[in-house]
Structure formats: C-alpha cells, structure tokens
Amino acid sequence: TVCPSEVARAVGEGDWRSRMEPVREAARRLVARGVLDIVQGGRVVDPSTVRGPIRLRLRS
C-alpha cells in the first residue's frame, strides 16, 4: 500500500500538498476502473464517503 501523500511527494519536488487533491482524484478514477482499492484500517472503504487517513492498494 501507499499513502496518497507519498505519491504527491514522488511526483515532484516542492509543494506536495498542492498535489494532494489531484492524487485523490486520480485514485478515485482508478477505483472506478477496478485498478485500486482505497483502504482505511485494512478495510476497503467507499472513496466518496471516506474521511481521515487512507492508503491506496492495487486491487488483486
């Protein structure tokens, strides 16, 4: 799994916080395509309602 902030930091140097929403949007698109799961506390969660820290996981 990976934290969305890790993805934002890996995309480029500088202000990673400004990249957080684009990373979340991309993650939601990948969930809709069946590529990723968004997990919280080890459980798959609904990306439209989740609050708090999440992790991204490739769907198996």
pLDDT, residue 14, reads: 86
pTM score of the predicted model: 0.89
CA atoms within 13 A on the CB side of 6: 8
Average pLDDT over residues 4-23: 92
Of the pLDDT bands very low, low, confident and very high (cuts 50, 70, 90), residue 13 is confident
SS3 20: helix
Give me the residues paired with residue 2 across strands: 56
Residues 23-60 pLDDT 10s: 999 999 999 999 999 999 999 999 999 999 999 999 98
Task: Report, at the CATH architecture level, how domain 4-58 is classified.
Answer: Orthogonal Bundle (1.10)
Residue 6, H or E segment? helix 4-11
